[in-house]
Structure 1
Amino acid sequence: MSRDEPMIEPQRVTEHRGGDDLLTAGLGLDGLRAMMPPAFADPQRPTARELRRRAIWSSWRGIADLSPGGGYGQVYGSTAAVPGREYSALATLPGARQPHRVLVQVPDDFDQTRRCVVVAPSSGSRGVYGAIAVAGAWALPKGCAVAYTDKGGGSDYFDLDSQAGFGEDGTARPREAGDLAFAPDAAGGGGVAFKHAHSRDNPEADWGRHVQQAAGFALGALSQAFPQAKPFRFDNTRVIAAGISNGGGAVLRAAELEGDWLDAVVAGEPNVWARGQAGARSLYDYTTEAALLMPCALLHLPAEALPQPPLRAQAEPLWTQRCASLKAAGLVEGDSVQAQAASAHARLLANGWTHEVLVAGALSVGFDLWRAIAVTYASAYGRYGVGEHPCGYAFAAQNPDFSARASTAAERVAWWSDASGIPPGNGVGIVDTRIAAPDFTLPGLQCLRALQAGDSADALRVRAGIDATAAAPPRAGLPVVVIHGRDDGLVPEAFSSAPYVAAARAAGRDVRYWQVRKAQHFDAFLALPAYGARYVPLLPYMYAALDRVQAHLDGQGALPADAVVEARPRGAGAVEATQLAMPSR
């Protein structure tokens, strides 16, 4: 990337002080802990300020464990009030059909003598504030600016019935307004479209470029914020990229880009695929396998082995039916449920899953995450538009019986602030045109799996999209720290971080690796007693690694050494610092 000042100009600049700060929108820790989101004065016409506050509330609660016993704000992390300004825009990569959101938070006490920007792509497919609990909580109190990007996903849903989407400020507006953050090609039809599935851009292939463009936008925003101190360039401003989950994969993809624009990377539980490395599997490969086999395989585990939810008693009939369906399809062996479950379990273990990962994966089964991911990513990888899903899936507001209906105005206006970026959720569900008794979701899942394993034109198209997401080693000399939970049940480290680190080191790159025992994928779910009792949060290790990297860049210490962290869950008590067993070097 050129060291010249970037050309993307902020489209909106807002000030956030007093009761509306950068980090918590004035909510503070108590407000973030509230079970109900901040209310809109007019439920059908929320203001941009109300939407921002609610989006920040939703983003915090989707990532961090804020429960009183979870330790946030006491043992680790910060929700300090940070006054400042926000600079935002819709930025479009060369060749892309749709923009991605970029937003830079500049604290009033930005340290102009030690210029620092942390670039933070959202986790999952979340909106532009989706990494605020990861990077904002660490960087803003230290006087660093934070540059966010939704990396081509986000919560910019588009209602096909009313032909309405969202503007740059998050407010709902009609297609004819012409300034939407996402407007699909389809001009008619019913239901809901969203950017990750329907942009036709395969955003995952460009995650690294999204991060790089957000970094460039940050320099432009800082030059506007402090004109007396400009120019802000990559050679006079420190840039660290940090993210978790999909955001972790995005910063690793950014690490491979040429140029000296990036100073360090910290990636937590990254969705990253080191194609060709032993053990590496793409997200779509293991997700579609899990969607099919894991419900049956979990019956092989004793009830007390699984955290709740899912509630075993309610789930067992569905899991039992899946075993029978898999036997009929020739995918497992055995004449009894017990034998079929053992066969599914053994097959997953043979393909690289571990006992710990399967236990934590029960959450993804219970919340239907495997299917949700597979449906959306199949559409994205194949660059399919609205109504073109190769397995017939669509998305819509739903009645209690899961039949499609038109969304209400009150539902639509809250999508931008509330949605996670992938249905189901927030009133939008998956419409499965292949649904059939007795194992209702199986036909669709078999179609999704065939896109990974088959040789149809659609399968070849989807796999071409998957191939475009393969990661390369980081740039030589770039400090990189990777952190992953050994019990991650959504993005198993055996398929992602471990082969990536091995491939990077084989290429001669100095990548440091922390493996945290008793850490799974979702810190937010530690607020559930059964999860908090048996797992530790991953965010403290992200913050600690960022501290070590910052010190190293300052010449005050070495990069973190590799570590297998013997963390201890809190059990029935509260999190204490000693339980985290933070690496000392």
Structure 2
Amino acid sequence: MLAPLAACVPRPALVHPAMPDPALVSDIRETRHSGDDDLLSAGLGLAGLRAKPAAFADAAAPTPQELRRRAIHANWNGIADLGPLGGYGTLYGGVPSVPGREYQAFARLPDAQAPFRVLAQVPDAFDAKARCLLVAPASGSRGVYGAIALAGAWGLPRGCAVVYTDKGAGTGYYDFDSRTGVALDGTRAARGAAPLEFEPAHEAAGGVAIKHAHSGDNPEADWGRHVLAAARFGLAALDRAFPAAAPFTPSNTRVIAVGLSNGGGAALQAAGLDEAGLLSGVVALEPNVHVEGRGRAAFDYITEAALYLPCALLDARFETTPFARVAAALPAWRARCARLHEAGLVDGGNLAAQAADALARLHAHGWDEATLATAASTTAFDLWRAIGATYTSAYLRAPADAMPCGFRFAVAHGAPAPAPADAATRAAWWSDASGIPPGAGIALLGGTDASADPSWVGLDCLRTLWSGDGADARRLHASVAATAAKRPRAGLPILIAQGERDGLLPIAFSSAPYVQALEADGVAPVYWRVPHAQHFDAFLALPGFGDGYVPLLPYGYAALDAVWAHLADGAALPASRRFDTTPRGAAALDRGKLGF
């Protein structure tokens, strides 16, 4: 059951006196969770997380408790492989009931336009003798529970507190038609009636504004600051939860930043900014990270893949690759080869030659065949375009009604023209959405034409913003440069794990050059390479896809075990290694395939 303990708590109650905090722009909401509404699964347990989410009693006006339960369900299923063959709960991981308290607020960096969420979970069984706080930025652009399957599942049952942040993204979508956004408890509220997770600087005629894309900030450049601010909030929440044991400080509490994907990149950004020594250790899985002068920024290779992969996947060597022969997409993919040829971007007098040349160009730019085969799923699901449109708007600080390349987000209801969202659709955005449309009833519109390859025009525009030299291209490059990670302080324990078949953030462009840069600068992180792991564990439950892979989440839990043993018991950090993995196959995963 969820019981509010303090609906309106003044700011000083959660400001740590020794560490300056960003200004909180809302009251602190303190709630208790136990029994059928615990911290880790909102009472669902593993069986409930595997089942379909429960319907709201009133679809147009769900309660905060219902929204929280659905958000936790959505974020578990968006990150972990909970399928019957994946081994979760038997070979690794678990979802025990963990009672405790939550403290959440909106915070704002001093120079930012929009707030970000912070949410601390403090278990009743917090281990006061081995004080532990995990700082968990959300993966992707997810909401504040976007790291619960990694940080919460490892930390809460062990008596660690966990503090999450949406790092300036999240699912607090603003609806222009109703002029409503998301209040602190997840419910919809009118602009001016309550502090909102996000409200754009000006109103538009219709459609939807997404915080990551339309806040007027470049949130990715501030990921590290979000993580460090969340750590301070978490320490202050512990002061509040256990006043007799306060103060909780970095000198008496081990603070570990942990995240995957964008969350992993945020943890590494924080490591590069942590001059004060707030963090005790860092664990980063499949991080979206780059350093100046090495590797490639994600926007570069994402827009490249968006243009070339539909053509390259028509090469005969991908004939049996999952998602490389999606019937509905094949006509547009064939047309992509023709468009690339017309633009002088591939050579070849027929489809086969053009596909082979597109593939050769990707190889020449650092893509390997195993990564490209995995990236077929990203291409089939049209994720390149959604990510590109969102990030371009963020980098150029574009408003919702003037997104670059003609894109916009709106509710379409399956019809050609957008329409206002109904109350039930709006109500579920916070709990069900991923932070980047399409999804949860919102479509990505625009950036298309009526040709056989309708998405070409928008994708070509996005790519030109990277390869061109116009004013917008220069602004975009400056924004991307601001996201580069800095060198962490000497002696900070860092463990990075990435799948060698990551088709969204290829290892050759992200973690490998980051590690090389640190090693060249005298810093030696632990680096784990997992040959048969890819980016989306949640995709492994899809029929025919998971057969060729192993999940990455077990290596995240093992990495946290190793860093904790080093910090708490003085154990040596493990060596960097490449695991001897075996694809799962059509049967259930067994531990031997993980190569531990």
TM class, shorter-chain normalised? over 0.9
Structure 1 range deviating more: 172-181 or 373-382: 172-181
Quote the residue 2:278 is aligned against.
261
Quote the residue 2:114 is aligned against.
98
Given the alignment of the two structures, is residue 293 of structure 1 paired with residue 313 of structure 2, yes or no? Answer: no
The aligned amino acid for 2:80 is A
Structure 1 residue 436, shift from structure 2 partner: 3.1
Quote the residue 2:141 is aligned against.
125
The match for 2:73 among 47, 54, 57 is 57
Measure the CA separation in 2 of the matches of 1:401 and 1:353: 38
The match for 2:463 among 437, 441, 449 is 449
Measure the CA separation in 1 of the matches of 2:511 and 2:252: 31
Given the alignment of the two structures, is residue 528 of structure 1 paired with residue 545 of structure 2, yes or no? Answer: no
> Cα–Cα, structure 1 residues 47 and 311, in superposed 2: closer, same or farther, change >3 Å?
farther
Measure the CA separation in 1 of the matches of 2:473 and 2:450: 23
The aligned amino acid for 1:283 is A
Given the alignment of the two structures, is residue 389 of structure 1 paired with residue 406 of structure 2, yes or no? Answer: no
The aligned amino acid for 1:228 is A
Given the alignment of the two structures, is residue 154 of structure 1 paired with residue 175 of structure 2, yes or no? Answer: no
Quote the residue 2:498 is aligned against.
484
Structure 1 range deviating more: 549-558 or 68-77: 549-558
Measure the CA separation in 2 of the matches of 1:396 and 1:310: 29
List per-residue Cα deviations over 1:241-292 (Å, max 9, x = no partner). 0000000000000001111110000000000011202xx1111000110000
The match for 1:330 among 323, 344, 368 is 344
Structure 1 residue 313, shift from structure 2 partner: 3.0
Q: Secondary structure at the match of 2:313?
A: helix
Structure 1 residue 402, shift from structure 2 partner: 4.2
Quote the residue 2:577 is aligned against.
563
Measure the CA separation in 2 of the matches of 1:66 and 1:209: 32
Quote the residue 1:170 is aligned against.
186
Structure 1 residue 78, shift from structure 2 partner: 1.4
Quote the residue 2:10 is aligned against.
none
Q: Secondary structure at the match of 1:448?
A: helix
The aligned amino acid for 2:74 is S
Corresponding residue pairs, total: 578
The aligned amino acid for 1:286 is Y
Quote the residue 2:266 is aligned against.
250
Q: How many percent of aligned residue pairs carry the same amino acid?
A: 57
Indicate conservation of the 8 Å contact 2:389/2:404, yes or no.
no
> Cα–Cα, structure 1 residues 301 and 269, in superposed 2: closer, same or farther, change >3 Å?
farther
Quote the residue 1:274 is aligned against.
291
The aligned amino acid for 1:350 is A
List per-residue Cα deviations over 1:319-355 (Å, max 9, x = no partner). 1111011101111000100000000000000000000
Structure 1 residue 310, shift from structure 2 partner: 5.6
Indicate conservation of the 8 Å contact 2:135/2:164, yes or no.
yes
Quote the residue 1:18 is aligned against.
35
Quote the residue 2:44 is aligned against.
27
Given the alignment of the two structures, is residue 222 of structure 1 paired with residue 222 of structure 2, yes or no? Answer: no
Indicate conservation of the 8 Å contact 2:184/2:195, yes or no.
yes
Q: Secondary structure at the match of 2:192?
A: helix
Given the alignment of the two structures, is residue 140 of structure 1 paired with residue 153 of structure 2, yes or no? Answer: no
The aligned amino acid for 1:567 is T
The aligned amino acid for 1:138 is W
Structure 1 residue 392, shift from structure 2 partner: 1.7
Given the alignment of the two structures, is residue 437 of structure 1 paired with residue 451 of structure 2, yes or no? Answer: yes
Q: Secondary structure at the match of 2:333?
A: helix
Structure 1 residue 464, shift from structure 2 partner: 1.1
Structure 1 residue 5, shift from structure 2 partner: 5.1
Q: Secondary structure at the match of 1:404?
A: coil
Quote the residue 2:9 is aligned against.
none
List per-residue Cα deviations over 1:419-476 (Å, max 9, x = no partner). 0000111110111154231210101111111110111111111111111101112211
Q: Secondary structure at the match of 1:106?
A: strand
Measure the CA separation in 2 of the matches of 1:6 and 1:574: 50
Given the alignment of the two structures, is residue 203 of structure 1 paired with residue 219 of structure 2, yes or no? Answer: yes
Measure the CA separation in 1 of the matches of 2:236 and 2:57: 35
Measure the CA separation in 2 of the matches of 1:174 and 1:155: 16
Structure 1 range deviating more: 560-569 or 334-343: 560-569
Measure the CA separation in 2 of the matches of 1:182 and 1:383: 15
TM normalised by structure 2 equals 0.95
Measure the CA separation in 2 of the matches of 1:316 and 1:175: 44
Indicate conservation of the 8 Å contact 1:419/1:426, yes or no.
yes
Structure 1 residue 542, shift from structure 2 partner: 0.4
Q: Secondary structure at the match of 1:312?
A: coil
Structure 1 range deviating more: 138-147 or 179-188: 179-188
The match for 1:179 among 155, 173, 195 is 195
List per-residue Cα deviations over 1:484-505 (Å, max 9, x = no partner). 1000000001000000000011
Q: Secondary structure at the match of 1:314?
A: coil
Q: Secondary structure at the match of 2:526?
A: strand
Measure the CA separation in 2 of the matches of 1:95 and 1:6: 15
Measure the CA separation in 1 of the matches of 2:447 and 2:457: 10
Unaligned stretches of 5+ residues in structure 1 = none
List per-residue Cα deviations over 1:522-558 (Å, max 9, x = no partner). 0001001312211100000000011011001123421
Measure the CA separation in 2 of the matches of 1:368 and 1:300: 19
Indicate conservation of the 8 Å contact 1:5/1:231, yes or no.
no
List per-residue Cα deviations over 1:56-107 (Å, max 9, x = no partner). 0000000000011110011001101101000000011110111100000000
The aligned amino acid for 1:91 is A
Q: Secondary structure at the match of 1:184?
A: coil
